[in-house]
Amino acid sequence: MRMVWSGVRRYQLILAMAIVAASALYLLVIHYFGIETGVMKTYLPIAEEMMSGDFQGMEYPPVAMMFIAVPGLFSLTPLGYNIAFVAETCVFMLIGLAAVCKLAKRYNQSQRSAMLIYTGLMLLMLIFVADRFDIFPAILTLLSFYCLVTKRYAFAFFLLAIATMTELYPAVLFPIYLIPFILNRDIWNTWKGTSAFFITVIVIILPLFFIGTEDVLYFLSFQLDRPLQIESMAASFIHLASFFGLTDVDVIFSHGTYNMIGPWPDAVAPYLPVLLAGVLFVIYLQYARMLHSLRKYKRDNENDRMLILGGTVIFALLAFILTGKVFSSQYIIWIIPFITFMMITSLDHVSKYRILALSITAAGLTLLNFAVNAAEGGEVIDTSDLGMVTTLARNIAVLVLSGYTLWVCTKYIEKRHWRTQPSDGDEQKP
């Protein structure tokens, strides 16, 4: 037994105990101060409707509704439901801890460092991890990513589809998963991955039509029709413009968030999905170009492919966040597994530390933004000038993180491969 729990295993157990202890402390705090959490206000009524069979509509994707319903099987009292929900999020944090440990081991990197970074970032965002369902798609996406890099392709696309049916954002990774197969002209895996993804989505959605669920695809129209949320990148700059008297804005509550309305936000909001599509298209092209360049110069290897993959995934997720109509505080949770992954790639240490520092800065500013702007009950209302500044600062930090991640990966690959390409007649070095 001493051998089993020595070294990395013991370290993993210590960090797991820290996650459990922090989750328990969170519950003690909300109980002691009588805090009505978002889980109690938003998820508990939905769970009650599902338990009673009087469910009216789907604001969230189907699998998210499942995660919301499960705690209701144990208790429908506010505190009891909250305890069950936090236990559920704790289990997923522990699954993520095990996954990043396995990833670090696969690439011969420090498992302790990977687990420490993951745990530190998750605990830094604990008030959002424990009070939202975003940890579920984040860890499902991480497990999908793990299956992809370990060449379990069908499971990778299967889990990606489940993650997409929990929160829509993982869908932006679907082309990234496919591009290497397309470049390799691997028709079988292209077909297998595509089939696994779409069949899984259909299998999840189709039964809802037969059980009489009203407006099964409401969660899609809900997102498309919503106005500009006040924390979004576009809203933060429009708010700054209104501060200088360039436009007028008002804040209203709808779609479960505080949103900005006025001439500028109303004009900008409809074009943000188009902007996202354009940005994602450029990201996919850049990813394909970088992979093609590695193969062209015969310097293709798994470490550098993973570096490009990790950087592209982070950039795509951040593009989804920054060009979206909504940028809720908990969205930072989405990138934590992949920031951790970047720390175990072949990227140089200085760049790793800068990416990590930018990530911690973005998370810290998110907490500050929430503390400054949170109204009673924890909803961000962002009506003060100070609130505008903290929101803008957080968004700029995330924008810098996004740009730096892509830039450093591109420059690293260029420096290591393209600029060191031997001239004709030179002997190719291993």
Reported as a single tens digit per residue, the pLDDT across 250-288 is 888 776 778 888 899 989 988 999 999 999 999 999 999
Q: What is the pLDDT of residue 252?
A: 81
pLDDT tens digits for 161-204?
A: 999 999 999 999 999 999 999 999 999 999 999 999 999 999 99
CB under 8 Å to 233, separation ≥6 — which residues?
321, 322, 323, 324, 327, 395, 399
Question: Is the Cβ–Cβ distance between 269 and 358 less than 8 Å?
Answer: no
Out of 98-102, 242-246, 270-274, 364-368, least confident range:
242-246
pLDDT tens digits for 102-111?
A: 999 999 899 9
Predicted confidence band at 429 (pLDDT cuts at 50, 70, 90)? very low
d(CA 307, CA 416): 12
Cα separations in angstroms, 394 against 329, 345, 353, 364:
10, 26, 19, 8
Is the pLDDT reported for residue 418 higher than 70? no
Average pLDDT over residues 5-13: 84
Is the pLDDT reported for residue 120 higher than 70? yes
- Crossing angle for the helix pair 302-322 and 135-149, to the nearest 10 degrees: 150
The pTM (predicted TM-score) of the whole model is 0.91
Percentage of residues in the chain with pLDDT exceeding 70? 87
Burial of 28 (C-beta count, 10 Å sphere; 0-12/13-18/19+): exposed
State the DSSP H helix or E strand holding residue 258, giving kind and residue range, or none if neither. strand 257-261
pLDDT tens digits for 43-76?
A: 999 999 888 776 666 678 889 989 999 999 999 9
Question: Is the Cβ–Cβ distance between 46 and 136 less than 8 Å?
Answer: no
Rg of the chain, C-alpha, whole Å: 22
Predicted confidence band at 78 (pLDDT cuts at 50, 70, 90)? very high
Average pLDDT over residues 222-242: 85
The DSSP 8-state label assigned to residue 415 in this structure reads I
Is the pLDDT reported for residue 407 higher than 90? no
